[in-house]
Amino acid sequence: MTDKAAAVRFDPVRARQDFPIFRQPIYGKRLVYLDTAASAQKPRQVIEAIKHCYEAEYANVHRGVYYLSQRASENFEAARETVRSFINAREGREIIFVRGATEAINLVAQTWGRANLTPGDEVLISHIEHHSNIVPWQMLRDQIGCVLRVAPVDDDGALILEEFERLLGPRTRLVAITHMSNALGTITPIAEIIRLAQARGIPVLVDGCQAAPHMDVDVQALGCDFYVFSGHKLYGPSGIGVLYGKAALLEAMPPYQGGGEMIASVTFDKTTFAPIPHKFEAGTPHISGAVGLGAAIDYLRGLDLAAMREHELALMRYASKRLGELNSVRLFGTAADKGAIVSFDVTGIHPHDVGTIIDREGVAVRAGHHCAQPVMDRFNVAATVRASFGLYNTFEDVDALIQGVRRAQEVFAG
Amino acid sequence: MMDIRDLYQEVILDHSRRPRNFGRLADANCEAEGDNPLCGDRVHIYLRIEGDRVTEARFEGRGCAISMASASLMTDMLRGLALDEVRALFQHFHAVVTHGESAEACDWIDLDKLNVLSGVREYPVRIKCATLAWHTMKAALEGKRTPVRTE
């Protein structure tokens, strides 16, 4: 089956109509949004759910005995259940609502990490992590003297599994690794990584920011210990994200922030903490955010997910092929297993200049280091242009990207 | 709406392709580094100051066409200026990239060289590309030790 034929089962043009942002032209042109890896656009269903939350069912959660508070609490917990089933966690209490994946990783570093690591213990990450899966471990290293180890990738941007395995040593206490690279699109062999680590008794945290919107995630099948992702990359609102953790681990971890909502009882002498998940949800949570995230997941589930993913991959392959045919374009991230992200540069034109010129054609791409500077260093570039695809993108969007790159080449040719 | 070529004028493209005064200045007595953490642009400005006059100006760095052209044009203009003229030129530059032109008249240097950078005012996220070299130069004159950041 050809890529275009595969895409027929999923109709992005129809899906696109669910996203109000595409109604407006940008610089008088049709919006071609190719920055879903940074943040996805929102379907009307999500926007409506948030609006309804505030207009009809809003109050603080887990407190009031009155009708609205009960409705709000039910909706908030229903969203937790939606997330649970989306990633197939065993129990709802294994789903912690946080601000985003960044907060989730910081939470694990500062609670599980501080409680379990001693000087000389090692945290193993990979060379293709987002800064949010590097910096929290460096901060922990500086606090307690643990060691950060980095598993290398090959010239295609694929994790070198043998090297990874070799780095699993007697002092390795945690593997923290991406499921799919935001800068290159590389999909890591996550099941194998988890198997290798857990065979040595080492827990694994998976950064699922890019994977959750584009791949099937089943945390029980994976067996990972922690899985984190952000709502806004999953067509949901910003400011809400998810930390999944195995219940036994979460229960043994000290709380992250102290405050209301996370306590069982408080006196000036002693506080007893609430059971999970509330132990990790101090303060009034992002109620409408959780509701919006639940709506986003419901929206996705209403689509033919398998066909949608095939369509996104077809776009990625088509874009790689078309870009590869252009003069002076280099692709970064050419691993056999990769998701709907294409990273490239154009000889003689800085990625920011490419980004500015194609923006005027209505094409939104990311130009920069993608919060993954070590990846840029690995490929000896300061920055790349990144086009990332979502369910609303079409082959026509890829053609617009190619046209934009040609335009940049024309402008720079003088 | 401006045409994209108002930003990427031929002079800008020429300076970015063949930056003038590029490379280390061995006998610099005033220098500073700047970087734009948002895009990874980096610039190192070297000045040779004798008495109250800039006798030589060079730069090293990497970045987009706007930042390289701005550094190239700036170092070209600085050579031979008295320090108070450098400070006045900085003000002119600032006016050009924020308002499109300088309200102040100027009879001691040709401001047309600066005007080729005026296109950036239409591109708010790119103004920092143009200003990086200039702020770094200012920091060098003020003897600042810590690298200049545009953020």
A47-81 confidence digits (pLDDT tens): 999 999 999 999 999 888 899 999 999 999 999 99
pLDDT at A119 over 70: yes
Interface test with A, best of B43, B64, B126 (most A CBs within 10 A): B64
A414 vs A42, which has greater pLDDT? A42
Q: Give pLDDT, residue A64.
A: 81
- Interchain CB distance below 8 Å, B40 and A360: no
Q: Are B78 and B98 in contact (CB under 8 A)?
A: no
Contact (CB<8Å) B129/A352: yes
Of A90 and A269, the structure prediction assigns the larger pLDDT to A90
Interface test with B, best of A29, A352, A373, A406 (most B CBs within 10 A): A352
DSSP string, A99-113: SSHHHHHHHHIIIII
Average pLDDT, chain A: 95
Question: What are B's interface residues with A at a Cβ cutoff of 8 A?
Answer: 1, 4-5, 7-8, 10, 13, 17, 38-41, 62-66, 123, 126, 129
Q: Are the beta carbons of B4 and A414 separated by less than 8 Å?
A: no
Under an 8 A CB cutoff, do A414 and B10 touch?
Answer: yes
Residue corresponding to tokens 């062999």:
A189
What's the whole-number mean pLDDT along residues A253-262?
A: 92
**What is the tens place of the pLDDT at every residue in B101-145?**
777 777 888 888 888 999 999 898 899 999 999 999 999 999 876
Q: Where are the domains of chain B?
A: 7-149
Mean pLDDT of A320-342: 97
Closest residue to B40, CB basis, from A348, A382, A407: A382
Name the pLDDT band for A87 (thresholds 50, 70, 90): very high
* Strand intervals (E) in A208-257: 226-230, 241-245
Residue B15 near residue B67 (C-beta atoms within 8 A): no
Question: CA nearest A350 in B: which residue?
Answer: B64
Which of A131, A350, A370 is the mutation pick for testing B, counting most B CBs within 10 A?
Answer: A350
Q: CB distance B8–A357 less than 8 Å?
A: yes
Task: Give the three-state DSSP class for A127.
Answer: coil
Compare CB distances from A356 to B10, B38, B123 and report the shortest one's residue.
Answer: B123
Is the CA virtual torsion A404, A407, A411, A413 positive or negative? Answer: positive
Tell the residue number behind the tokens 């500015």, with chain if given: A356
Contacts of A357 in chain B (CB under 8 A): 4, 8
Q: How far is A27 from chain B (nearest CA, A)?
A: 8
Residues linked to residue A387 through DSSP beta bridges, in sequence order? A342
What pLDDT score was predicted for residue B99?
Answer: 87
Q: What is the nearest CA distance from B132 to chain A, expressed in angstroms? A: 15
The order of strands in the sheet holding A341-346 is: A329-332, A341-346, A384-388, A366-368
* Residue recorded with tokens 């500073």: B32
Mean pLDDT calculated for residue range A384-391: 97
pLDDT category of residue A257 using cuts at 50, 70 and 90: very high
pLDDT given for residue A1 in this prediction = 45
Chain B positions touching A373 (Cβ under 8 A) are 40
Domain annotation for chain A: domains and CATH numbers: 3-30+304-413 (3.90.1150.10), 47-301 (3.40.640.10)
Assign A254 a pLDDT band (cuts: 50, 70, 90).
very high
Distances from the Cα of A322 to the Cαs of A187, A325, B115, B141, in angstroms? 22, 5, 38, 49
Q: What is the pLDDT of residue B146?
A: 66
The predicted pLDDT at position A378 comes to 94
DSSP state, residue A287: H
Q: Does the domain at residues B7-149 carry the CATH identifier 3.90.1010.10?
A: yes
In angstroms, the separation between the Cα of residue A32 and the nearest Cα of chain B is 18
Which chain B residue lies closest to A366 (C-alpha atoms)? B39
Closest residue of chain B to A359, computed from CA coordinates: B4
Give catalytic residue positions of A. Answer: 371
Residue B55 sits at the vertex; the CA angle it makes with B49 and B59, to the nearest 5 degrees, is 85
Q: Which of B5, B10, B64 is facing A353, going by the closest CB pair?
A: B64
Per-residue pLDDT of chain B (151 residues; tens, 9 = 90+): 678 988 999 999 999 999 999 999 999 999 999 998 877 789 999 999 999 999 999 999 999 999 999 999 999 999 999 999 999 999 999 999 988 877 777 788 888 888 899 999 989 889 999 999 999 999 999 987 667 776 5
Residue A220 CB neighbours (<10 A): 11
Distance from CA of A17 to the nearest CA of B (A): 28
The tens digit of pLDDT for each residue in A280-306 reads: 999 999 999 999 999 999 999 999 999
The share of chain A scoring above pLDDT 90, in percent, equals: 93
Residue A21, token pair as written in the block = 């942002």
The torsion angle over the Cα atoms of residues A253, A256, A261 and A263, rounded to 10 degrees, is: 50
Distance of residue B130 Cα from the nearest chain A Cα, in angstroms: 12
H or E element in which residue B14 lies: helix B10-17
Please state the ipTM of this predicted complex. 0.90
| Exposed/middle/buried for residue A212 (C-beta within 10 Å: 0-12, 13-18, 19+) | buried
Which chain B positions have a beta carbon within 8 Å of A353's beta carbon? 8, 64-66
